Structure 1
Amino acid sequence: MVRRIAVLGVTGALITGSVAAAAPTTATATAASAGRSTGAYGGRAEAYGVTVAAARAAKAGIDWAACPADWGFESPIVCGYVTVPVDYAKPNGKKIKIAVDRIDNTGTAAERQGALIYNPGGPGGSGMRFPRRVTTKSAIWADTAKAYDFVGFDPRGVGHSAPISCVDPQEFVKAPKADPVPDTEADKTAQRKLAKEYAQGCVERTGRAMLSQMTTANTARDIDVIRAALGEKKLNYLGVSYGTYLGAVYATLFPTHVRRMIVDSVVNPARDQIWYQNNLDQDVAFQGRWDDWEAWVAKYDSVYHLGDTPAKVQAKWETLRAAVKANPIGGVVGPAELLGFFQSAPYYDSSWATVAGVWSKYAAGDTQALVDAAAPDLTDTAGNISSENGNAVYTAVECTDAKWPTSWKKWDRDNTALHAKYPFLTWSNAWMNLPCATWGVPQQTPVEVRTGKGLPKVLIVQSTRDAATPYSGAVELHHRLKGSELITEKDAGSHGVTGLVNSCINDRVTAYLVSGTLDGKDVTCTPHATPVPPAAG
């Protein structure tokens, strides 16, 4: 899951064979079978709708062309669109176009194994940069690129795929925003008002028809239509963070359409976790990883001069928070913006040195360094690719996917108790998700993720100290997907493991994708290298 600066004034913490067009009688039979397998979430109408949409997409294919210049993807990456229904229960109703891009495999025709589709998380993240792993010559992915076309896409509502909105993007980037940690009941009342207004804005700016269809299950159905449009009989998939839940839902709805699947940094897919409890669990995990970072900063006090014990570093953090609350730096960096920048440290240890370095400069008197790093981008208002759009999709999917508590007493009780022990992210996360308490369209029942007949072995990769998706999520998905194998990176905590340099993991990921090879058992890897400050290297 990916967290963003919210309008509420807070930051929270988340594939070559051809496919022929199916005849109506075949589609009906397939849909009937799929409808029985989907359980309470979706039924025969949606199953029939995705079969019809996939058949149409297989017949139409994708009209690949050079990507528009303002999309930022260089040749030989090509772009196109795939048409999908807004509502799969009404496949002949309103439709939207899903933006996709692709780069051909770098190996020979004989080496090619199809297309590998990618989702980076969110909800609200774009996968369109995935083919750039080839153009930028990423060594980790070189062997996989020989075998696969790399395919990215903007999920429904994101970027170039019928983008949605919940608030004026100009308003979204205004700063400073309110301190996410409430001092008084009046502070809580103000945040509750903002959350309700944001939920109303989602309905007004997106419309009920689209908003009610912003679900993980529908995005999974979109992926199956993309698969068909690519001419692929089976899906090869890599999902990170929220992309793991999307992959798990796809595997549940379309088990016989999966060829190979890797899920990295796993969302707990249990129905009672989606999404309220998952967000509460994040608060605990973020605090743990924040503590890890503070210990690292203290270890390198000779470089950063922020305290030689974690307690001293924490005291300096609290002093900094209080200072920017009293007087926002540059008039734009208050506690919310500060948290938005510092939050990257518990997310990714690749950010440890960067965040500590900026803080160290500020402590030495360079206030501009912190303004440059933490202030919002006031030009980030280009509707279809703005952070506002990403935040809207995050909210729309999580709020529509599942039923959330509507009692403010429950939210207040749960978050007050958590904040007492895990203060780094708790209230920020609460306000980020509070629009779901007054959501304006019906909330669904989450998919019951499970192993469907015909599902091949799935490879799960997870670090034990991941903040955004705690380790228990990987264990739960491993239990639910029979035959899956789990690679654990022990004593590490970066979110997104497959993109890091760790041969124990990289070699196994490549072997699985290229050769279908697995260990036949779960594997524990030692952690990737801990960052070292440039000045200490």
Structure 2
Amino acid sequence: MRAVALSSAVGALLLGALTAAPAGAAAPGLPVLPTAPGLAGLPGLPAAPGLPGLPGAAEVSGTRVAAERARAAGVAFGPCADAQDLPGAMECGTVSVPLDYADPDGTRIELAVSRVAATRTDPGNSKHKVPRQGALVYNPGGPGGSGRYFPLIGMLPEWKRIAAAYDLVGYDPRGVGGSAPLSCQDPARFFKGPSQAPTHPSAAYKKERIAQARSYARGCAERSGSALRHYHSLNNARDLDVIRAALGEEKLTFMGSSYGTYFGAVYATLFPTHVRRMVFDSAVDPDPASVWYRNNLAQSAAFEGRWADFRAWAARHDTVYGLGATADAVQASYEKARAQLAAEPAGGKVGPGQLQGMFLEAGYYDDHWPYRAEALSAYLKGDPQPLIDIAAPVEEAAVEAENASAVYTAVECNDAPWPTDFAVWDRDNTRLARSAPFETWDNVWMNLPCAYWEGPRQSPVDVRTGPGELPPTLIVAAERDAAAPYEGAVELHRRLTGSVLVTERDAGSHGLAGGPNACVNGYVDAYLLEGRLPVRRAACAPHREPTPAKAK
């Protein structure tokens, strides 16, 4: 499952171009997975690293050298290669970074960077010019998410005030899209539909998936060679500092969503004096003991709660969809569809795996709920087309999706220790699947290549800053976010002294900034535009639930 990090407010205009995964994508597991209560004591988890993953002297020096070179070179922004397909005034360029920061004179890679210059126009008064505040750099998460089209978000009403004051800057992180892209297998083999998605897999099925995980890990190593070990969160943070320098910014203004909050927090730990303002949107748990195995367990548990939220909503609208008047009845409708699709895939492309993926995406944003409920309702009434339209793999997107999966796998496998004995995974997830069957095993198969990963692992950075080390930062999070469980935002708030946490109560969307909650947007705008933060934690009422679509 692919992490879609921009707020649902982006809508149809930008979502496909920015970070949305193709419907029915078979891969990436959710990358940003904080710790949920009750999971820390599960047996078989890897021990927390004894030492924080602080860089050595060579990497510190190499980052400084790379940043100085980037400041001197700047970014030669010009027309984008796909400019004819893009609205607005987006420009594109590249920033050169070392593949290995311990060897800044060695192999270098180019990061694709994009920008829309600050409009300087007050959206409330076109005759009034707004002072430019510099560049706002954005990362959408992943790992593996492309941020190159982020600057176009300034066209949306919720972003116009920020777009007036800031150059909106997006980029493809190393390994992604136009930035030395990684690949682990032939994209033509990437989408495997229709597929199964057993919630309690058999021993034979597990054996098959273990073989696939071994093959995938081997493919990553064979296709990238020794370069593969340099794709990790520490280097993502270093790259961010080089981009800051290339843009001519003395201090970084940054917004990270989802996984972007993790390496943004790593950046804040490594470069606190380089920070101007930072927004952590849908924050993940940066505790070294949680990165990344425990975090995936926590995420699987949280998705069960979000799946329950959807079922309760559909039950409240049974007169529209006819899926059942209780959450259990909606579950029964879902299971009926799974059984039918296992026997005869819809359109030859949509099986139980694609159905599960469709509703997994709904766990990110509740504005997806009406269309997915409508598709399930239509299918059970004999019309499979709405389901096929949403859930069938999009073969044209296979290259992008396979690349995103490769980067996700490389970064998470390189970042931290993982259990190398499948018996550990089997024990922990069999236990978890008893109470959280919806997402658990799908998450296992996405991350299992890390059990067989070749090459050295990083020790996760002990993210934390003391009083006065870092300017005040803003964390925004939804209480029922499944992709980044809320406890991760609380942990990040605890570790970044002077940070302020704004909570959307009783809501579960993943990615809040610029979304449907005006209260949350008000806090983000006040911070980015004026540097104002609440004195202490703040809370916003939940945004309105989605309105049902008319079922067929």
Which string of whole-angstrom CA distances, capped at 9 and with x for unpartnered residues, describes residues 308-355 of structure 1? 111100011111112212222222111211111111111111111111
Are 2:201 and 1:189 aligned?
no
Secondary structure of the corresponding residue to residue 363 of structure 2: helix
Q: Tell me: CA distance 1:352–1:68, structure 2 relative to 1, closer, same or farther (3 Å).
A: same
Corresponding residue number in structure 2 for 1:27: none
Secondary structure of the corresponding residue to residue 207 of structure 1: helix
Are 2:523 and 1:503 aligned?
no
Normalised by the length of structure 2, the TM-score is 0.89
Query: Which structure 2 segments of 5+ residues have no match?
Result: 5-20, 32-50, 122-128
Matches within 5 A, 1:128-139: 128-134=148-154, 137-139=155-157
Corresponding residue number in structure 2 for 1:234: 251
Corresponding residue number in structure 2 for 1:19: none
Q: Per chain length, whose mean CA-contact separation is higher, i.e. which structure has more relative contact order (CA < 8 Å, sep 6+)?
A: 2
Matches within 5 A, 1:52-451: 52-69=65-82, 72-107=85-120, 111-134=131-154, 137-209=155-227, 211-382=228-399, 386-451=400-465
Secondary structure of the corresponding residue to residue 512 of structure 1: helix
Corresponding residue number in structure 2 for 1:517: 532
Measure, in 2, the Cα distance between the counterparts of 1:360 and 1:121.
32
Secondary structure of the corresponding residue to residue 323 of structure 2: coil
Secondary structure of the corresponding residue to residue 396 of structure 2: coil
Corresponding residue number in structure 2 for 1:30: none
Corresponding residue number in structure 1 for 2:470: 455
Amino acid at match of 2:356: L
Amino acid at match of 1:102: R
- What is the root-mean-square deviation in Å for CA atoms of aligned residues? 2.0
Corresponding residue number in structure 1 for 2:8: none
Measure, in 2, the Cα distance between the counterparts of 1:41 and 1:207.
25
Report if aligned partners of 2:66, 2:97 keep a CA contact under 8 Å in 1: yes
Secondary structure of the corresponding residue to residue 382 of structure 2: coil
Q: Tell me: CA distance 1:503–1:408, structure 2 relative to 1, closer, same or farther (3 Å).
A: same
Measure, in 2, the Cα distance between the counterparts of 1:457 and 1:482.
8
Secondary structure of the corresponding residue to residue 499 of structure 1: coil
Measure, in 1, the Cα distance between the counterparts of 2:117 and 2:27.
41
Measure, in 2, the Cα distance between the counterparts of 1:96 and 1:402.
24
Shift of 1:5: 8.6
Report if aligned partners of 1:7, 1:172 keep a CA contact under 8 Å in 2: no
Measure, in 1, the Cα distance between the counterparts of 2:469 and 2:63.
19
Measure, in 1, the Cα distance between the counterparts of 2:528 and 2:25.
42
Amino acid at match of 1:57: A
Measure, in 1, the Cα distance between the counterparts of 2:87 and 2:24.
33
Report if aligned partners of 2:25, 2:357 keep a CA contact under 8 Å in 1: no
Secondary structure of the corresponding residue to residue 204 of structure 2: helix
Corresponding residue number in structure 1 for 2:41: none
Measure, in 2, the Cα distance between the counterparts of 1:157 and 1:73.
23
Q: Tell me: CA distance 1:166–1:501, structure 2 relative to 1, closer, same or farther (3 Å).
A: same
Measure, in 1, the Cα distance between the counterparts of 2:199 and 2:292.
22
Q: Tell me: CA distance 1:315–1:461, structure 2 relative to 1, closer, same or farther (3 Å).
A: same
Report if aligned partners of 1:492, 1:528 keep a CA contact under 8 Å in 2: yes
Measure, in 2, the Cα distance between the counterparts of 1:115 and 1:305.
49
Measure, in 2, the Cα distance between the counterparts of 1:6 and 1:370.
10
Q: Which range moved further: 39-48 or 263-272?
A: 39-48
Query: Which structure 1 segments of 5+ residues have no match?
Result: 15-37
Which string of whole-angstrom CA distances, capped at 9 and with x for unpartnered residues, describes residues 50-73 of structure 1? 100000000001111010027943
Measure, in 2, the Cα distance between the counterparts of 1:188 and 1:91.
43
Matches within 5 A, 1:16-35: none
Shift of 1:122: 0.3
Shift of 1:495: 0.5
Report if aligned partners of 1:124, 1:155 keep a CA contact under 8 Å in 2: yes
Amino acid at match of 1:177: S
Shift of 1:183: 3.7
Shift of 1:534: 3.6
Percent identity reads 52
Report if aligned partners of 2:24, 2:354 keep a CA contact under 8 Å in 1: no
Amino acid at match of 1:351: H
Q: Structure 1 segments of 4 or more deviating over 6 A? A: 3-8
Report if aligned partners of 1:5, 1:337 keep a CA contact under 8 Å in 2: no
Measure, in 2, the Cα distance between the counterparts of 1:207 and 1:71.
36
Report if aligned partners of 1:488, 1:525 keep a CA contact under 8 Å in 2: yes
Amino acid at match of 1:429: N
Q: Tell me: CA distance 1:58–1:71, structure 2 relative to 1, closer, same or farther (3 Å).
A: farther
Amino acid at match of 2:29: G
Measure, in 2, the Cα distance between the counterparts of 1:150 and 1:371.
36
Report if aligned partners of 2:111, 2:173 keep a CA contact under 8 Å in 1: yes
Q: Which range moved further: 187-196 or 496-505?
A: 496-505
Secondary structure of the corresponding residue to residue 150 of structure 2: coil
Measure, in 2, the Cα distance between the counterparts of 1:140 and 1:355.
26
Report if aligned partners of 1:66, 1:75 keep a CA contact under 8 Å in 2: no
Corresponding residue number in structure 2 for 1:20: none
Which string of whole-angstrom CA distances, capped at 9 and with x for unpartnered residues, describes residues 196-222 of structure 1? 10000001112222x101101101110
Measure, in 2, the Cα distance between the counterparts of 1:212 and 1:416.
31
Which string of whole-angstrom CA distances, capped at 9 and with x for unpartnered residues, describes residues 428-471 of structure 1? 00010000001012111011101166310110000000000100
Measure, in 2, the Cα distance between the counterparts of 1:180 and 1:158.
31
Measure, in 1, the Cα distance between the counterparts of 2:498 and 2:461.
20
Q: Which range moved further: 466-475 or 351-360?
A: 351-360
Report if aligned partners of 1:182, 1:188 keep a CA contact under 8 Å in 2: no
Q: Tell me: CA distance 1:241–1:282, structure 2 relative to 1, closer, same or farther (3 Å).
A: same
Measure, in 2, the Cα distance between the counterparts of 1:233 and 1:205.
38
Amino acid at match of 2:513: T
Which string of whole-angstrom CA distances, capped at 9 and with x for unpartnered residues, describes residues 4-58 of structure 1? 79999666333xxxxxxxxxxxxxxxxxxxxxxx964321111101100000000
Q: Tell me: CA distance 1:111–1:6, structure 2 relative to 1, closer, same or farther (3 Å).
A: closer
Shift of 1:110: 6.2
Amino acid at match of 2:203: E
Matches within 5 A, 1:35-54: 40-54=53-67
Measure, in 1, the Cα distance between the counterparts of 2:514 and 2:381.
34
Shift of 1:503: 2.0
Secondary structure of the corresponding residue to residue 243 of structure 1: helix
